[in-house]
């Protein structure tokens, strides 16, 4: 198997994992916000983690996009 293909598969697999975690965090945040009393610090941490995941997904997706010559 070609190394580039293996790298692409690994990156795509990691993106899927990160998107799943990002979605799960969104659900956890929604549930926390819906609670009458919720921990603001925990909410802040979850939102920060979700944003970090979004950045990681964007970075990995950019690696899969070929450079377009100008």
Extents of the domains making up the chain:
3-64
The whole model's pTM is what?
0.82
Query: Is it the case that residue 50 has pLDDT exceeding 80?
Result: yes
Average pLDDT over residues 36-50: 94
Query: Is it the case that residue 2 has pLDDT exceeding 80?
Result: no
**In angstroms, rounded to a whole number, what is the distance separating the alpha carbons of residues 10 and 19?**
14
- Asked whether the beta carbons of 46 and 25 are under 8 A apart, the reply is yes
pLDDT interval class at 70 (50, 70, 90): low
Q: In degrees, to the nearest 5, what angle opens at C-alpha 32 toward C-alphas 22 and 34?
A: 120
Query: Is it the case that residue 65 has pLDDT exceeding 90?
Result: no
């Amino acid at each position: 198997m070609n190394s580039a293909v293996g790298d692409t598969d690994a990156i795509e697999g990691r993106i899927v994992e990160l998107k799943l975690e990002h979605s799960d965090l969104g659900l956890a945040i929604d549930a926390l916000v819906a609670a009458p009393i919720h921990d603001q610090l925990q909410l802040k941490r979850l939102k920060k983690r979700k944003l970090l995941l979004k950045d990681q997904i964007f970075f990995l997706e950019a690696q899969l996009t070929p450079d377009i010559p100008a």
